[in-house]
């Protein structure tokens, strides 16, 4: 498409201007010069609106590089531009709600990692302030752990109390009331209470005592507990606390694992207390005075893991701490005492082997420990022996039954003996006397029947009648079963019959007859067996081993061996002698193998090696037995 419309705006007559438009809408101009346009000045180009929009930003950019002075702003930067932390917002709101109280409200669960007022719903808000008033009044209804943390955060920032002692008491009471349900409180409240004492300058005794240190307890509280325990009289240490002061793992000891666990855990802390008391009495110096480490300064962070405004008491505080548990001389001495205690217990319990490292303990202290442990172990063994004895209980019902049965047996024996004597008397009389006395005996029999009936009605039993007649044949009875009787005159003939019956009764019932006061003990039969010689003695004389010229361990071995052991060594001195060894063992009521084991056990404990190999003395130690002779 071509537009030949002339450009009327052109003020130059020699130039022909034609505008063309293509089918795509593109416009372009065509200029035709006549040739007469030489030396004709071109007119200045007038900028259009689009070019002005492009140029103006550049001019503005150039102008922006020029900084013009401004007038100072009239404002308070501390107030108008102050950043308020979450902890500060909590403290501000806690002070506003310090004495706010809600009516009784139902419990609503509340769980939050960093609990504050802003995280409470309306029903949780009402329950909290009702519950807070309850615990301030000394009542502790059940609640969630997050409510407790909000309450402790308030106490840390001085909300709810007017005196620091009151605030400390409120924290401790709430902790005590809820710690059994929420064991997690122990981890935080131990440290927060200690920080509370530091920032308020309180010197409160720590009520909680530790059988063993918790895993998350701070180093400052550990050292405070060490100092408290070593300052007590006597020193109070538990086995778990003592383990932290040792330079070796005593629980891996073979003696501890096999048979000495109870002894070590019971006696080792007592030995430490004994040595401390001995030093205080004899030298006027306790362990904590003797091994006093230098104090050092440590930096402690206040109220860790709590919603705490650091602007109140500061972020950290510098403390002066005496580190007893890290003091090398004290640890070394305590370790030596425990090693010595284990060695003495091994010796008293007959356990082989000894530990090294107890040389730092003074001889007089070692003697005190030895005497104490020896006395304690002997008393313990005696108590165990008495406890193993069967308990003797007397059944009074069985005693009464045995007494009745004994009375019945005695009565039957007396009746049979009397009847037998009458038959023998009748058989020994001549026939004429028997016929002559027949009439008289018939009358006497009638009288006897009458008399016996009356006697039976009065006494009841023949045994009680005979006992009433004759006190000498009265059966021994217990105090609770005794029957009073009246002493009467008894003919001599009846007395002799009763004595004969008593002899028969004593033979049949030795246990009951032996309780009579008038009984006489029979002499014991003489033994026809030959007497056995005392252990350790021989027909040739006693065996003596002079160890004066030997080392200390051999002298100790000589003291531990019994005369019987010395006789065995003397028999084996010239070589194996099984017959002599068997004879010695038989005389002592033992076995050869047991005697040899006892000798080797004593040698291991003192010399540190076996003295007998097989059934002969080891070649390396024969010369040590040269002074072993028979007197």
Cβ–Cβ under 8 Å, residues 409 and 401? no
Helices within 573-618 (DSSP H only) = 578-588, 592-606
CA distance 595 to 610: 13
**Which of 196, 248, 250, 206 shows the shortest CA–CA distance to 229?**
206
Mean predicted lDDT score pLDDT of the chain = 76
pLDDT at position 522: 39
pLDDT at 611: 85
Residues paired with residue 15 on neighbouring β-strands, in sequence order: 33
- pTM exceeds cut of 0.85: no
Mapped to the 3 state alphabet, what secondary structure does 566-580 carry?
HHHHHHHCCCCCHHH
Burial class of residue 480, CB neighbours in 10 A (0-12, 13-18, 19+):
exposed
DSSP string for residues in 251-273: GG-HHIIIIIHHHHHHHHHHHHH
* Residue 67, helix vs strand vs coil: coil
3-state SS assignment for residue 536: coil
pLDDT of the residue at 100:
94
Task: Identify the segments of the chain with pLDDT beneath 70.
Answer: 1-17, 20-21, 23-25, 28, 31-82, 207-212, 392, 417, 419, 423-424, 426-541
Closest CA to 248 of 330, 327, 336: 336
Q: What is the DSSP letter of 524?
A: P
Q: Decide: residue 453, CB within 10 A, 0-12 exposed, 13-18 middle, 19+ buried.
A: exposed
**Confidence at residue 452, expressed as pLDDT on a 0 to 100 scale:** 41
Which of 558, 563, 592 lies closest to 577 in space, CA to CA?
592
CB 288 within 8 A of CB 230: yes
Q: Secondary structure of 458-486 in the HEC alphabet?
A: HHCCHHHHHHHHCHHHCCCCCHHHCCCCC
Q: Is the peptide bond prior to 234 cis by the omega test (within 30 degrees of 0)?
A: yes
């Amino acid at each position: 498409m071509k537009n030949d419309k002339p450009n009327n705006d052109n003020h130059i007559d020699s130039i022909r201007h034609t505008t063309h438009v293509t089918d795509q809408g593109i416009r372009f101009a065509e200029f035709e010069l006549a040739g007469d346009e030489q030396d004709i000045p071109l007119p200045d180009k007038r900028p259009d609106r689009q070019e002005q929009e492009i140029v103006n930003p550049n001019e503005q950019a150039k102008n922006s590089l020029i900084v013009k002075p401004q007038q100072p702003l009239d404002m308070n930067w501390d107030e108008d531009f102050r950043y308020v932390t979450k902890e500060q917002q909590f403290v501000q709101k806690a002070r506003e709600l310090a004495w706010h109280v809600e009516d009784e409200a139902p419990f609503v669960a509340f769980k939050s990692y960093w609990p504050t007022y802003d995280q409470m719903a309306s029903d949780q808000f009402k329950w909290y302030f009702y519950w807070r008033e309850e615990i301030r009044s000394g009542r502790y209804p059940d609640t969630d752990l997050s409510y407790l943390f909000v309450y402790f955060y308030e106490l840390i920032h001085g909300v709810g109390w007017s005196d620091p002692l009151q605030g400390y008491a409120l924290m401790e009471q709430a902790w005590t009331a809820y710690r059994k349900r929420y064991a997690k409180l122990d981890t935080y409240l131990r440290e927060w209470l200690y920080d509370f004492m530091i920032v308020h300058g309180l010197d409160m005794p720590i009520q909680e005592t530790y059988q063993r240190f918790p895993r998350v307890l701070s180093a400052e509280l550990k050292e405070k507990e060490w100092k408290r325990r070593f300052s007590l009289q006597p020193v109070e240490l538990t086995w778990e606390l003592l383990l932290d002061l040792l330079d070796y793992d005593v629980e891996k000891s073979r003696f501890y694992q096999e048979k000495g666990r109870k002894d070590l855990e019971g006696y080792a802390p007592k030995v430490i207390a004994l040595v401390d008391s001995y030093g205080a009495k004899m030298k006027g110096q306790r362990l904590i005075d003797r091994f006093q480490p230098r104090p050092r300064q440590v930096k402690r962070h206040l109220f860790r893991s709590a919603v705490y405004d650091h602007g109140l008491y500061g972020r950290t505080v510098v403390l002066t701490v005496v580190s007893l548990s890290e003091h090398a001389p004290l640890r070394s001495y305590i370790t030596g005492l425990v090693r010595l205690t284990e060695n003495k217990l091994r010796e008293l319990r007959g356990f082989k082997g000894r530990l090294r490292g107890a040389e730092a303990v003074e001889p007089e202290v070692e003697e005190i420990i030895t005497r104490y442990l020896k006395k304690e172990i002997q008393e313990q063994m005696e108590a165990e022996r008495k406890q193993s004895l069967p308990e003797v209980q007397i059944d009074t019902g069985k005693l009464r039954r045995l007494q009745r049965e004994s009375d019945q047996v005695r009565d039957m024996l007396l009746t049979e003996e009397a009847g037998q004597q009458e038959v023998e008397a009748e058989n020994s009389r001549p026939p004429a006397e028997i016929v002559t006395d027949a009439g008289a005996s018939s009358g006497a029999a009638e009288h006897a029947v009458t008399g016996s009936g009356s006697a039976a009605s009065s006494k009841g039993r023949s045994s009680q009648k005979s006992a009433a007649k004759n006190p000498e044949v009265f059966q021994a009875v217990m105090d609770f079963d005794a029957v009073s009787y009246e002493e009467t005159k008894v003919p001599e003939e009846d007395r002799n019959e009763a004595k004969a019956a008593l002899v028969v009764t004593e033979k049949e019932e030795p246990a009951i007859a032996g309780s009579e006061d008038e009984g006489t003990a029979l002499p014991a039969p003489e033994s026809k067996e030959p007497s056995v010689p005392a252990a350790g003695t021989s027909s040739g004389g006693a065996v003596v081993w002079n160890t004066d010229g030997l080392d200390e361990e051999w002298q100790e071995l000589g003291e531990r061996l019994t005369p019987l052991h010395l006789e065995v060594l003397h028999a084996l001195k010239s070589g194996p002698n099984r017959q002599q060894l068997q004879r010695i063992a038989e005389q002592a009521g033992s076995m050869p193998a047991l005697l040899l084991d006892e000798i080797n056990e004593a040698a291991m404990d003192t010399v540190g090696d076996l003295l007998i190999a097989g059934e002969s003395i080891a070649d390396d130690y024969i010369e040590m037995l040269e002074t072993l002779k028979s007197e």
